Chain A
């Protein structure tokens, strides 16, 4: 729960410097996805996430669950996913090639089945990624402004409803793994992907988002039941000032493995699960929607007003566990100064993959489902144009990375990514609305300085051009032994025209 992946403990102070405001920003960083206003009562949800470590260890499922997680981040907010991007960085050896094939298959099987088009992406090859491939996936969704759902609970007495896959041991410790170096592989810590369940969840949650029956939704991604139930209450506390708490009955959690311990249940990262905060009086209606979609759902807890987090586990000899609600804050901010930059001496070549290789990749993705893809991967250029007949306009998405420039000049790397996207949007006549970025770096001991410089340079550009960062992801510890990857900031900019 306090690993780098879920709480950003060592990067928080830097991230707080980002430029995140703007008149059309509906939701900045801090929620499941960022949301910008695209006009005519509609909004665009956007987010990019990395699934680097899992994809290296178990490439097919690692990449597939990456797609699943980012899609849930989008539809958790009531938005219907309309586009995906895959941004890949791999080594040049045989192992990297076979990893790439599996990763591609994982992304394809997942996105195709759920029915969300992969409208673009890119692939760069560099031996710096030999033991740390990068798999970044971005997702976009459309939502009516007055139908946005947040991951919060406001009212004591309301239900905490569990829906989706059963809880198993898969992924226990996964969030911690993403914050460790690649020396210790733990295959069991990577979750299995189930795109069909995701599709059912997407449709059922999409239906619920249009009703007045629910108060909030939260993905049960990294760190599972513990994180999702406490997050909705913590956000509610912040927004209402009420002394809200939660009571979770672990006996009610649907499980797929026998003899799971309470800790395993709380931390399990089984995919395709959602937490719904439902108004108690509409409990039957909510459960009926899930039943219609063949999904298992049950009330596993409730929102309380006693300011504590209580875990009930009825077994002879087991005591209930009660924690103060602000327990997430008891982990201290780590502050250390590192100024090593061993990645600088690598001198490996950074090059774009051949057209034949990328063509074989995007041919495996259904890049047209939804019939919105005006400019997809079939035409050159790192941008996509998406039709939005709902507002009579088009959304333009541009993406870029440092393209190896961070090697010599860290600030120049992110500036290049920003400028490339910005120029593209301008040249296509699109008004930039927001940025989502994925900052892939090596071990903090030699990459924290570069990370700080990247944030500073990005912040300056955003301020100058008044384009806010509305969400993103930090991936540290992309390292193996004493080898850290070269800084690889990925930037995605969305605009409307």
Chain B
């Protein structure tokens, strides 16, 4: 499998994500945010971190305003990502990557500040539901331990749209028991209608159950 990992300035789970794929024997490389070339990969990953420090600025050393994900939307690589999405390339957004995919309109909903107004990091237990992670039958209906680390992870969506998502199986991950951010219906991850773009707040690359996530991606890529 050939994996492209989108790297923004401030993406701090970039190496963790790269190592996750190479550990399982896959070819993975960084794609710099200024890169607008067509992305010919089997999978694109938007890793966790703080792309552009959650800021909007014209010069990194100059003045700025805060708006997580906003500057990422203006980067050249985003055009390439949207093209790849249209062409049906599977995409995974983790944490900040999920935030960017939502902001870009590639995934439904919004990610707001944690209910506690504080950053939170610890292990959580999540249910795999709906269409499952990349359609994996092995994972569907099971619980997995996956760490979270975020300040803006509270997933929000109006009730009517939520029902539609649930009906369509797009809510593939929910917090079981403890909800670390106050997200509605305990939602931890959603995918798009075509079930090709997946976004989740928890970090599979840090998970002791990481192998399940990797196998799911591998079998999806092998059969699509």
Measured CB to CB, the residues of A under 8 A from B are: 108-109, 112-115, 164-166, 195-197, 199-200, 203, 254, 293-296, 362-371, 378
**Is the C-beta of B16 less than 8 angstroms from some C-beta in chain A?**
yes
Q: Verify B9–A294 contact, CB threshold 8 A.
A: yes
Question: CB within 8 A of A369: which of B16, B20, B55?
Answer: B16
Q: Verify B53–A363 contact, CB threshold 8 A.
A: no
**Is the C-beta of B52 less than 8 angstroms from some C-beta in chain A?**
yes
Question: CB within 8 A of A196: which of B16, B52, B119, B151?
Answer: B52
Question: CB within 8 A of B119: which of A114, A115, A195, A366?
Answer: A366
Contacts of B12 in A (CB 8 A): 113-115, 199, 369
Measured CB to CB, the residues of B under 8 A from A are: 9-10, 12-13, 15-16, 19-20, 48-50, 52-55, 59-61, 118-123, 147, 149, 151, 203, 205-206
Shortest Cβ distance from A114 into B: residue: B12
B183 to chain A, nearest CB (A): 17
Contacts of A113 in B (CB 8 A): 10, 12, 50, 53-54
Shortest Cβ distance from B19 into A: residue: A371
Q: Verify B121–A365 contact, CB threshold 8 A.
A: yes
Question: CB within 8 A of B122: which of A164, A200, A363?
Answer: A363
How far apart sit A200 and B60, CA to CA, in the bound complex (Å)?
A: 9
Q: Verify B50–A378 contact, CB threshold 8 A.
A: no
Q: Verify A378–B122 contact, CB threshold 8 A.
A: yes
Question: CB within 8 A of A197: which of B50, B61, B119, B203?
Answer: B61
Q: Verify A364–B53 contact, CB threshold 8 A.
A: no
Shortest Cβ distance from B122 into A: residue: A363
B148 to chain A, nearest CB (A): 10
Contacts of B205 in A (CB 8 A): 371
Q: Verify B50–A196 contact, CB threshold 8 A.
A: yes
A36 to chain B, nearest CB (A): 23
Q: Verify A199–B9 contact, CB threshold 8 A.
A: yes
Q: With A113-B50, A196-B53, A197-B60 given, is the CB distance from A368 to B9 under 8 Å?
A: no
25 contacts between A and B (CB under 8 A): A109-B119, A112-B50, A113-B10, A114-B12, A115-B49, A196-B9, A196-B10, A196-B50, A196-B54, A196-B55, A200-B9, A200-B10, A294-B9, A294-B59, A294-B61, A296-B59, A363-B120, A363-B121, A364-B120, A365-B119, A366-B119, A367-B121, A369-B13, A371-B206, A378-B123
Q: Verify A164–B61 contact, CB threshold 8 A.
A: yes
How far apart sit A203 and B20, CA to CA, in the bound complex (Å)?
A: 20
Q: Verify B16–A371 contact, CB threshold 8 A.
A: yes
B106 to chain A, nearest CB (A): 24
Contacts of A197 in B (CB 8 A): 53, 60-61
Q: With A369-B149, A371-B205 given, is the CB distance from A196 to B60 under 8 Å?
A: yes
Contacts of B52 in A (CB 8 A): 196
How far apart sit A289 and B123, CA to CA, in the bound complex (Å)?
A: 37
Shortest Cβ distance from A80 into B: residue: B15
Q: Verify A294–B60 contact, CB threshold 8 A.
A: yes
B28 to chain A, nearest CB (A): 15
B27 to chain A, nearest CB (A): 19
Contacts of A366 in B (CB 8 A): 119, 121, 149
How far apart sit A237 and B205, CA to CA, in the bound complex (Å)?
A: 47
Contacts of A365 in B (CB 8 A): 119, 121
Q: Verify B59–A112 contact, CB threshold 8 A.
A: no
Question: CB within 8 A of B61: which of A109, A165, A367?
Answer: A165
Contacts of B149 in A (CB 8 A): 112, 366, 368-369
Contacts of A164 in B (CB 8 A): 61
Q: Verify B49–A364 contact, CB threshold 8 A.
A: no
B71 to chain A, nearest CB (A): 11
B210 to chain A, nearest CB (A): 9
Q: Verify B61–A293 contact, CB threshold 8 A.
A: no
Q: Please give 9 more A-B residue pairs, beta carbons under 8 A apart, in addition to A296-B60, A370-B15.
A: A112-B151, A115-B13, A195-B53, A196-B50, A199-B50, A296-B59, A367-B121, A368-B203, A371-B20
Shortest Cβ distance from A372 into B: residue: B16
Shortest Cβ distance from B121 into A: residue: A366
Shortest Cβ distance from A164 into B: residue: B61
Question: CB within 8 A of A112: which of B19, B61, B119?
Answer: B119
Per CB-CB distance, the 5 closest pairs between chain A and chain B, nearest first, are A115-B12, A196-B53, A294-B60, A366-B149, A296-B61
How far apart sit A370 and B17, CA to CA, in the bound complex (Å)?
A: 9
How far apart sit A112 and B199, CA to CA, in the bound complex (Å)?
A: 21
How far apart sit A354 and B55, CA to CA, in the bound complex (Å)?
A: 36
Contacts of A199 in B (CB 8 A): 9-10, 12, 50, 53
User: In this complex, which of B50, B121, B147 has the most chain A Cβ atoms within 10 angstroms of its Cβ?
Assistant: B121
Contacts of B61 in A (CB 8 A): 164-166, 197, 254, 294-296
B10 to chain A, nearest CB (A): 6
Contacts of B118 in A (CB 8 A): 363-364
Shortest Cβ distance from B15 into A: residue: A370
User: In this complex, which of B13, B52, B61 has the most chain A Cβ atoms within 10 angstroms of its Cβ?
Assistant: B61
Question: CB within 8 A of B60: which of A115, A195, A295?
Answer: A295
A296 to chain B, nearest CB (A): 5
Contacts of A371 in B (CB 8 A): 16, 19-20, 205-206
Contacts of A165 in B (CB 8 A): 61
B60 to chain A, nearest CB (A): 4
Question: CB within 8 A of A368: which of B55, B59, B147, B151?
Answer: B147
How far apart sit A367 and B48, CA to CA, in the bound complex (Å)?
A: 14
